[in-house]
Amino acid sequence: MTTNEAPSRFSKVPRHVAIIMDGNGRWAQERGLPRMAGHRAGTENLRTIIRAIAKLGIEYLTLYAFSTENWSRPKTEIAGLMHILSEVIDREIEELHAEGARLIHIGHLDGLSSTLQNKVRAAIELTRHNQRINIVLAFNYGGRDEIIHAIKRMLADRVNPDDVNETLVSHYMFTAEIPDPDLVIRTSGEQRTSNFLTWQTVYSEWIFPKVYWPDFNEEELQKAVDEYARRDRRFGGLKEA
């Protein structure tokens, strides 16, 4: 697969799918398990979904793993999530690299230990030339924070106000080299955007399957892609005759 040429904007297969992986805690609670058991089950599900995404020919997969607001969670849960991220990198990155996956991070590495920051950077460097699928990890990420960060960079660069347009603003986003999502999936049935890709998803198609993330499998993914294919994407215009 090459990522140099984008499919038609009306392609039936989305070029970029973004997922809010919601419902880990409720999945565990319904089974009488601690919340971390749900997060671990959700992490185990990543391998299945990444392979299914690649098989469908989807070029970009963005995963909302940890938001800027998640720092308000209990310290023990935050520590557990950081430990899981470290384990996933250690366990999965070599295989992902062998399968042609490229890892991209959006957000901030601030707040992570220096050891974990180094692991993330090393994984990005190892996979930087891969082209089969791009896995975008939104970790310590928030949509409003991203916009504020972009504005600060524009001010630091002394951008002329008359030059500001959508293209320029997009250039200053964390996702400058990444196409906007065609399809956003939020598992668990909750219908909120939760500060996710605020700028980039204005014309994305949103789907809210009721299944919790640990149970979101290849069949559920195919249902979402099939629903996307039935949507009429007009991007603010009118349907063609």
Among 22, 145, 180, 182, the one annotated catalytic: 22
Instruction: Read off the amino acid at residue 13.
Output: V
89 contacts: CB under 8 Å, gap ≥ 6: 119, 120, 123
The two tokens of residue 48 are 């299945």
**What CA–CA distance (Å, rounded) separates 174 from 227?**
29
**What CA–CA distance (Å, rounded) separates 218 from 97?**
21
Helix (H) or strand (E) holding 139, with range, is strand 133-141
The two tokens of residue 129 are 């030339």
Would you call 22 a catalytic residue per the annotation?
Answer: yes
Cβ 195 vs Cβ 69: under 8 Å:
yes
The 3-class secondary structure across 71-110, one letter per residue, is HHCCHHHHHHHHHHHHHHHHHHHHHHHHCCEEEEEEECCC
Among 4, 24, 45, 70, the one annotated catalytic: 70
In 162-224, DSSP assigns E strands to: 183-186, 205-207
Would you call 110 a catalytic residue per the annotation?
Answer: no
**What CA–CA distance (Å, rounded) separates 117 from 140?**
12
* Catalytic positions, written as ranges: 22, 70
